[in-house]
């Protein structure tokens, strides 16, 4: 199953959940201190026109664009939570988004 198909099947069921977002810089010259986790509501999603990013919307205007064409993308379920992990090979970033009720 490709990334777009997997996301299209899994993301609709996660709308209205809370997202906990971590973005980790994996470049050699990255800051040693990781960026703090951010919490946002998950309002809607869409795949970009080019199919290179998934947009996770916090509200009708603001979103996080996660690359899906330049690295691996996985989704794992544990209990009441779903973890989306995406690796951006070009930008040397690791995205982790935990979807949960609380």
The domain ranges of the chain are: 3-28+38-100
Residues present in the chain in total:
102
Q: What is the mean pLDDT of the chain?
A: 92
pLDDT value at residue 1: 55
Region 3-28+38-100: CATH code: 2.70.180.10
pLDDT value at residue 67: 93
pLDDT in tens, 27-62: 888 787 878 999 999 999 999 999 999 999 999 999
Contact 87, 72 (CB under 8 A): yes
Instruction: Give residue 5's pLDDT band: very low, low, confident or very high (50, 70, 90).
Output: very high
pTM summary value: 0.91
Which of 6-10, 40-44, 66-70 is predicted with the least confidence, judged by mean pLDDT? 66-70
Question: φ and ψ at 14, to 5 degrees?
Answer: -105, -5
């Amino acid at each position: 199953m490709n990334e777009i198909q997997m996301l299209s099947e899994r993301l609709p069921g996660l709308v209205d959940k809370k997202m906990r977002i971590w973005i980790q810089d994996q470049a050699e010259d990255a800051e040693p201190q990781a960026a703090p986790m951010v919490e946002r509501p998950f309002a809607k999603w869409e795949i970009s026109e080019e199919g290179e990013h998934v947009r996770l919307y916090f509200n009708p205007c603001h979103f996080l664009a996660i690359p899906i064409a330049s690295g691996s993308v996985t989704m794992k379920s544990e209990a009441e939570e779903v973890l989306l992990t995406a690796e951006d090979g070009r930008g040397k970033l690791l995205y982790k988004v935990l979807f949960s009720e609380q």
